C-alpha cells in the first residue's frame, strides 16, 4: 500500500478496489443534486440551433 510514495519505475502495477460503497450522506446527495441542476440548459429548438449543445457541428 502506497500512501504518499512516488513510484518512479515499475514493471507491474496492481490496482485493487477494496470496496465500492456510497459514502455520501443524504444531505450530500441533496446538495450535489441542487448543484447539478444549475449545470443544465433548458432544451428548446431555438437554443439547439443557436447555442446549447454542439448543434450540427462538433469541433472539439
pLDDT single digits (tens) 35-46: 988 887 777 777
Helices and strands: H and E segment counts in the chain: 2, 0
> Could you tell me if residue 6 is inside a domain?
no
pLDDT higher at 35 or 3: 35
d(CA 56, CA 60): 13
> Could you tell me if residue 29 is inside a domain?
yes
Q: Residues 9-20: pLDDT tens digits?
A: 778 888 887 777
> Could you tell me if residue 35 is inside a domain?
yes
Q: pTM score > 0.75 for this model? A: no
Please give the residue range of the domain that contains residue 36: 23-52
> Could you tell me if residue 2 is inside a domain?
no
d(CA 42, CA 36): 13
Q: What is the DSSP string of 28-56?
A: HHHHHHHHHHTT-----HHHHHHTSS-TT
> Could you tell me if residue 11 is inside a domain?
no
> Could you tell me if residue 39 is inside a domain?
yes
- Domain count within the chain: 1
Amino acid at each position: 500500500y502506497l500512501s504518499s510514495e512516488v513510484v518512479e519505475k515499475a514493471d507491474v502495477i496492481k490496482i485493487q478496489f477494496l470496496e465500492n460503497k456510497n459514502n455520501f450522506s443524504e444531505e450530500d446527495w441533496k446538495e450535489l443534486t441542487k448543484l447539478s441542476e444549475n449545470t443544465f440548459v433548458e432544451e428548446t429548438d431555438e437554443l439547439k440551433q443557436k447555442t446549447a449543445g454542439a448543434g450540427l457541428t462538433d469541433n472539439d
